[in-house]
Structure 1
Amino acid sequence: MRLIGPDNLDAAVQAIEAGGLVVVPTRRWYMVCADASNARACDDIITGKRRPSGKPLAYVATSTASCDERFILSPDARRLATAFWPGDLALLLPWKNTEDAAQHAAVGSPALVTIAPDILGDLASAVKVPLAATTANISGDAGPNDPGPAITIDQVHAFLAASGLEPDVIIDGGVCPAANHMTIVDCFTPEARLVRTGLVHQRAISAALGTEIRTA
Structure 2
Amino acid sequence: MSDKDVTQVLAADGEGIARAARILESGGLVAVPTETVYGLAARADSAEAVAKIYAAKGRPGFNPLIVHVRDAGQAAIHGDFSDPVLREIARGQWPGPLTLVVERRAQAALAEAVTAGLPTVAIRVPAHPVMRQLLDHVDFPLAAPSANRSGFISPTCARHVLTSLDGRIDAVLDAGPTEAGVESTILRITAEGEWHELRPGPVDVGALYRHYHDHDIAGMAALEGITAPGQLASHYAPGKPVRLEAEAAEPDEFMIGFGPIAGDCTLSARGDVTEAAARLYACLHEAAASRSPRIAVAPVPAGGMGKAVNDRLRRAATPPG
Q: With structure 2 as the length reference, what TM-score do the two structures score?
A: 0.59
How many Å separate the matches in 1 of 2:135 and 2:216?
32
Structure 1 residue runs of 5 or longer lacking an equivalent are 142-147
Hey, what does 1:150 align to over in structure 2? 155
Change (3 A) 1:21 1:12: same
Hey, what does 2:201 align to over in structure 1? 198
Change (3 A) 1:209 1:49: farther
Hey, what does 1:170 align to over in structure 2? 172
Hey, what does 1:160 align to over in structure 2? 165
1:121 equivalent in alignment to 2:132: yes
What does 1:47-196 correspond to in 2, within 5 Å? Answer: 47-73=55-81, 74-97=83-106, 99-100=107-108, 103-108=110-115, 109-118=119-128, 119-141=130-152, 148-161=153-166, 165-167=168-170, 169-191=171-193, 192-196=195-199
Shift of 1:100: 2.6
How many Å separate the matches in 2 of 1:57 and 1:43?
11
Could you tell me which of 26, 30, 49 is aligned with 1:22?
30
Shift of 1:11: 0.7
Q: Which amino acid aligns with 1:157?
A: L
Q: Which amino acid aligns with 2:142?
A: L
Shift of 1:179: 2.6
CA contact (8 A) 1:79 1:208 kept: no
Quick check: 81-90 or 124-133, which moved more?
Answer: 124-133
Structure 2 residue runs of 5 or longer lacking an equivalent are 1-6, 223-321
How many Å separate the matches in 1 of 2:24 and 2:124?
18
How many Å separate the matches in 1 of 2:36 and 2:105?
30
The superposition leaves residues 2-59 of structure 1 with CA deviations (integer Å, 9 ceiling, x where unpaired) of 3222213111111111111111112322111000011122112112222221211111
Change (3 A) 1:178 1:69: closer
Change (3 A) 1:55 1:212: farther
The superposition leaves residues 89-143 of structure 1 with CA deviations (integer Å, 9 ceiling, x where unpaired) of 001111221x536x422321311100111222222232022211110122224xx
Q: Which amino acid aligns with 1:200?
A: V
Hey, what does 1:46 align to over in structure 2? 54
Could you tell me which of 207, 212, 236 is aligned with 1:209?
212
Aligned residue pairs total 205
Which secondary structure state, in structure 2, belongs to the residue aligned with residue 27 of structure 1? Answer: coil
CA RMSD for the aligned pairs? 2.0
Change (3 A) 1:193 1:123: same
Could you tell me which of 7, 12, 27 is aligned with 2:13?
7
Q: Which amino acid aligns with 1:104?
A: A
Q: Which amino acid aligns with 1:84?
A: Q
> Which structure has more RCO (C-alpha within 8 Å, separation ≥ 6)?
1
Which secondary structure state, in structure 2, belongs to the residue aligned with residue 41 of structure 1? Answer: helix
How many Å separate the matches in 2 of 1:183 and 1:64?
17
CA contact (8 A) 1:60 1:133 kept: yes
Structure 1 or 2, whichever has the larger Rg, is 2
How many Å separate the matches in 1 of 2:37 and 2:92?
23
How many Å separate the matches in 1 of 2:96 and 2:189?
17
Change (3 A) 1:29 1:67: closer
Hey, what does 2:236 align to over in structure 1? none
CA contact (8 A) 2:32 2:39 kept: yes
Change (3 A) 1:179 1:3: closer
